[in-house]
Amino acid sequence: MVMRSLTLFFSATLLLGTACQGLLDVAPQDQISNEEALSSPEGIQAAMAGAYSTLGESGYYLRAMVAYPELAGHLAPNPDAVSSGDFSGNLATPIVDLRDAHSFALQPTYEDSSLDEFYRVLYILLGRVNNILEALPAVEGLTEAERNSLQGEALALRALAHFDLLRLYAQPYRFTPNAAHPGVVLLDAPLPVTARPARSTVAEGFSLVEADLLQAITLLNSFAQRTTEAVWLTPTAARGLLARIYAYRENWEGVVEQASRVIESGGLALLNPGEYVDTWAQQLPSPEAIWYVDLQRHRNADPSSTGLIFSMARVAGVPEDLEVVPYARVSNDLLSLYGEEDLRRELFIEVGGQAYCRKYSLRPNYVSNFPILRLSELFLLRAEAYAALGQDALAQADYNLIHQRAVDDAPAIGLTGQALRDEIFKERRRELALEGHLLFDLARTGRGVERQDCLPGNLNCSLPFPDFRFVLPIPQSALNANPNLTQNEGY
């Protein structure tokens, strides 16, 4: 059944239902009823396909969820980028939108923007996983272990969707005492068509995310491993997400516990220095990958996919065989963080006077798979947590593992206190550059945006924290559909 289900997995576009249509400005995607589609093991597997494939939308991890936060200091609009009739005008909108986002100039009426997809896509994902969770108990032909594992996958995906909504549309956890400020609409079950729920608090949102991941950890098992690739959810992946989420809540003991469980889980290893650059540049399997978004398989299964045009590689990947200019370039603000001896500098190449990133390959008929979680981040999260807890020696040890791999003969770090925490933050920027973290990391740690490399006329090259522009506006169409929704302050 597994191999037959894989055929369905990446050709299915299933299972939103109509429950969210009016409330969230989302159109139904299904041509068959949820009841019919979710009544068999094959159908439930295809439904899970629809959920996983949502991660590969251009409005999510294919491009926007990675590029948008990196514009806060790692990416800059490419002055050489121009629109092209070869793509029926599709290039013009992303170029303009990236410039608007770089300038913190997005408005609630940005429905025609290439960045307007976050709200729609994330609630599509929530609709899909909630339909799965509701249907699972009645599906015949599944063993208890299979049913549990599918439930765990759905819960982990629901946690990721809510977490990303909170990162995009709500100020960080520390913004108010007890995180009592507005969060997002939480969907923990299929929503009646007539429902018009209000936004929950950020604290309530993070509590649901935590609960879903804790349950997912206990339910996920080997049934989810449809192939040997690191593209399926596992208890280790769920723990990695939980460690990241605890960092956003400043639950430092929780970060240490979950990150340590991942680090000690077995089967993972940091890339050695001799393999580091080539593994990225040649898109080779990485021993430190915890969870990838399988963009390449999803694109291959959908011949109509515009994958390359709308991928992260098209934003800032190194051009190889295409006579096209990426929308953005690697900023001098990022490049200045690397010393000459840092091997990670080799991931950035100058082409035609602009710097681009080798983490994403810009070549015909190819989309680089995106690593949502990798082992390096878990060491840096644990270093950050140890430093916050005053356990400087342990923080230094984790920092040194990552930094000394990249910088041959680098001395062991001797910083302590706030200076150590600041250096761990810089190392996080260097190691996780262009992987979709920067703006969110700045916000959760209370740091402002400090850039030198901006286009002329950008009035917001620097942006102190707090500021309303650290989060996106709720789309106006969603506000129009639901009178109980409120806009983010400042918009």
| pLDDT tens for each residue of 102-124 | 999 988 886 667 677 899 999 99
Burial grade of 465 (CB within 10 A; 0-12, 13-18, 19 or more): middle
Q: Are strands 328-330 and 75-77 parallel, antiparallel or unpaired?
A: antiparallel
CATH classification (class only), 1-59+115-226:
mainly alpha
Q: Residue 22 and residue 473: Cα distance in Å, rounded? A: 19
Q: Is the pTM of this model over 0.75?
A: yes
Q: What is the band of 81 on the pLDDT scale with cuts at 50, 70, 90?
A: confident
Q: Are 102 and 458 in contact (CB under 8 A)?
A: yes
Q: Residue 217 and residue 22: Cα distance in Å, rounded? A: 33
C-alpha separations of 483 from 58, 115, 151, 473, 487 in Å: 29, 23, 33, 16, 11
| pLDDT computed for residue 320 by the predictor | 73
The least confident of 111-120, 255-264, 443-452, 465-474 is 111-120
| pLDDT computed for residue 111 by the predictor | 63
Q: Which residues contact 287 (CB under 8 A, 6 or more apart)?
A: 268, 269, 270, 271
264 or 116: which leads in pLDDT: 264
Q: Which of 48-52, 76-80, 199-203, 365-369 has the highest mean pLDDT?
A: 199-203
Q: What is the band of 384 on the pLDDT scale with cuts at 50, 70, 90?
A: very high
Peptide bond into 466 cis (omega under 30): yes
Check whether 197 has a pLDDT greater than 90.
yes
C-alpha separations of 407 from 125, 274, 345, 411 in Å: 40, 12, 10, 9
Q: Are 381 and 249 in contact (CB under 8 A)?
A: no
Q: Residue 257 and residue 491: Cα distance in Å, rounded? A: 39
The least confident of 14-18, 222-226, 293-297, 343-347 is 14-18
The least confident of 6-10, 116-120, 150-154, 243-247 is 6-10
| pLDDT computed for residue 376 by the predictor | 99
Q: What is the band of 11 on the pLDDT scale with cuts at 50, 70, 90?
A: very low
What's the whole-number average pLDDT of the chain?
Answer: 89
Q: State the distance between the two ends of the chain, measured CA to CA, in whole angstroms.
A: 50
